[in-house]
Amino acid sequence: MGEDVTGTEPVDRRAPGVRIERRTVVPTAEAEQLYAYYESSFGPLREAAAARHVVPLEEFVEEMADPRIDKLVALSEADGSFLGMSTLARDLDAVPWASPEFYLARYPEHAARGAVWYLGFTMTVPGVQRNGVFATMLSAVVEAALAERAVVGWDMCAANVGAGFNEAVKAQLGGDDVPVAQVDVQTYYSADFAGGR
């Protein structure tokens, strides 16, 4: 990771040998390097999910440059190598597929104080998925949300739900005193007219 990152501050330490940095902006050259990890993490969803889960490089670079979206970057303490990243939008207008009005209607007090956030994606590099990196990144989200008494929303395609990712996110973000609720469902349909009526 580059030295010229703006808005860098340590957030949390959970897994041994992993540190999390909160970044508001990731420079273009670094974002372009990270895109390969993003592509390897989410590329298979192109054929597994009806909604678009992989944005082109240009949109990825724009998201990395958007200061409304925190980038929680997991790094190896040993050598500073990249282990993973979560994105957390603290402004719902930064999330094109989310409806700020939906959340405002359900959480008006939270919205009034800017405490309705959206967890965009969480990715880890191949080989570190089972080493606590995923949980460490989400623990940084939990700490920030608890400190600001925020509501955190996210979405999950059926392929990732089936792979157990939603249960992992719910287990990490939720708890005895943090209720997690499904607030909406989007189902995709298709009609094949190739055979006529």
Average pLDDT over residues 140-151: 92
| Closest by Cα among 116, 100, 175, 179 to 149 | 116
Range list of H helices, the chain: 28-42, 45-48, 57-65, 100-106, 108-112, 133-148, 158-162, 165-173
pLDDT-wise least confident of 39-48, 129-138, 153-162: 129-138
Enter the pTM of the model. 0.82
Name the more confident of 148 and 52.
148
pLDDT at position 52? 83
Domains of the chain, by residue range, sit at 9-173
pLDDT at position 190? 75
pLDDT at position 13? 42
What percentage of residues in the chain have a pLDDT greater than 70?
90
Fold assignment, 9-173: Aminopeptidase (3.40.630)
Average pLDDT over residues 50-56: 86
